Amino acid sequence: MSAKIKNTSDFKRLSIEETFKILETSILGLTESEAKNRIEKFGYNEIAEEKKNPLVEFFSRYWGPMPWLLELAIVLSYVLEHYVEAVIIFVLLTINVVIGFTHSRRSQRALEFLKKRLAVKAKVLREGKWMVKDAKEIVPGDIILLGLGDLVPADAKIVSGELSVDQSALTGESLPVNLRSSDIVYSSSIVMRGEAKCVVVNTGVNTYFGRTAELVKAAKPKSHQEEIMMGITKYMMYFGLAALILTSAYALLLNMGILSILTFAVIFLMGAIPVALPAVLTIVQAVGAMELAKEGVLVTRLDSIEDAASIDVVCLDKTGTITQNRLSVVEVIPFSGYKKEDVALIAALASEEESKDTIDLTVISYAKSSGVNLDSHRRISFTPFNPSTKRSEAIVESKGARFKAVKGAPQMIISLCKSVGSISQEANVILERMSKKGYRTLAVAKSENNDFENIQLVGFLALADPIRPDSKAMIEEIKQLGIKPIMLTGDNISIAKEIARQASIGDRIVPAAEIRALNETDKAKVVEAYDGFAEVYPEDKYEIVKLLQSNGHMVGMTGDGVNDAPALKQAEMGIAVSNST
């Protein structure tokens, strides 16, 4: 078995036949023995999490610049038989260690509880038979079957079938993505519609999700509080050493013994080191963390509380942070004498709640919230959305007459309509306006009673991920505090500009590709000149945070998805918002 690891992006350009050849597999899947060999070669399909031994973690808190100074003072006090002072310093050091360790363990237990979820299963073709396996046992070359509601267990290439998937947690794209044969579906995406047979191309750390996890491990922010404490200690040590040199010289002139000089050394060392400062700060921060916990905020790193007070730039993920990460109807445009309620009614009749399709559920929810009465209509038949026809339709009966209700891609629906000449130009102007705002637009049409071929355009529905009700007020308050907000999103530039306008972030929004093309020096110069970046990848968010830090900024980062994790960890203050993934 010589199957090779390639980047998932490389498989995008390959045909299905070339993919099978590289992975040494076929449409019939792998045998159990081959799968076992590949587990030995590639490892299990999981992200290994390094867990520290509690004892090692506890005693490691006695290691570091501040503990070393305190431990030196303890040793000198013991040598000079100042046992009381040695015990006092040791107790203060241990209080600091115990408080920090206890809070850290509590936070870790809370995070482990938050991360618990049912073990993911996957339907895999092995030995020519479909069977259900734990996701961790999937290997490159496996043939898997994905359907409605499935969590994609690994990066895979679609062999047959079509899918609509939610990739918002990974890419930040708020709208479902439609995929077909030869497209790549990423690990941790959620299938919203359709069914497809796929070949697994990468597992574990080699997946898109896995690369993001590895970036998280590399991220390490500097502690602003630690820098301040070390700065204070450094200058106090300089002062103490200068005083010690002068005192020692004077002691030598008076012919005082070496023990007396060492006693002075301990006195100045203890005076120069803020012995109680670490313990006091830790206690104060622990109390602050408990108060924040009452407000629903989980503090995982105590010194992040102090760092939060120094933030001057905050990077905001768009999807799920500024916006609701929930598709909604944001605008309704009726045509030909129809009303907004008519557009909502026809769109809802051409939708099916049981399908669990995101767009269908959004349309039906909007119709119900608008007071539209669906009960007076009886649906005779329903044809769900098909990517090839780009529409869904239903035959509906009302008041003894039947008509066809249709919704779908505007150009496709308009091509089905009769007598659209008079409104064609108006429709194109509206579609262009919607496109500039980044909205996904649906056209809605219906046939005349009992004449299914005579279809008339009823109107348009504009769908988008709306901003949270409190986003604009929050961002304006952030600005009043002297903090610069910067929006980061995986969505396209049109959507990014519209959301930035609605949330009062600013209008200087550019694609992340513009800064990728610059050298490191130029990147650092221009990054803070913009109000936001669109079409970003997880590594872009991470790099933008690092660039801002290299310019001397204290950076906060908010996010709710896996794609935000590296930047969240790199920032001085990372905030994972509610309903995070």
Q: Which residues are catalytic?
A: 317
The end-to-end CA distance of the chain, in Å, is: 36
- The single-letter code of the amino acid at 425 is Q
Asked if 322 and 503 touch (Cβ cutoff 8 Å), the reply is yes
Q: Enumerate the β-bridge partners of residue 133.
A: 122
Cα torsion at 13, 18, 22, 26 (round to 10°)? Answer: 130
CA 74, CA 84: separation in Å to the nearest integer?
10
Q: Enumerate the β-bridge partners of residue 316.
A: 487, 558
Q: Burial letters for 77-106: b for 16+ Cβ neighbours within 10 Å, e otherwise?
A: bbebebeebbebbbebbebbbebbbebbeb
- The single-letter code of the amino acid at 405 is A
Provide the 3-class DSSP secondary structure of residue 422: helix
CA 570, CA 215: separation in Å to the nearest integer?
10
For 495, residues 6+ apart whose C-beta sits below 8 A from its C-beta are: 174, 437, 438, 464, 489, 534
Side-chain half-sphere exposure of 412, counting CA atoms within 13 A: 16
CA 539, CA 546: separation in Å to the nearest integer?
11
Query: 414: closest CA among 437, 445, 435?
Result: 445
CA 296, CA 326: separation in Å to the nearest integer?
22
CA 358, CA 363: separation in Å to the nearest integer?
9
- Helix or strand (DSSP H, E) at 365: helix 358-369
For 284, residues 6+ apart whose C-beta sits below 8 A from its C-beta are: none
Provide the 3-class DSSP secondary structure of residue 463: strand
Side-chain half-sphere exposure of 472, counting CA atoms within 13 A: 10
Q: Which residue matches tokens 């106090």?
A: 236
Read off the tokens for 95.
């209080």
For the chain, the C-alpha Rg in angstroms (whole number) is 31
> Would you tell me the crossing angle of helices 421-437 and 493-502 to the nearest 10 degrees?
70
Read off the tokens for 343.
């557009």
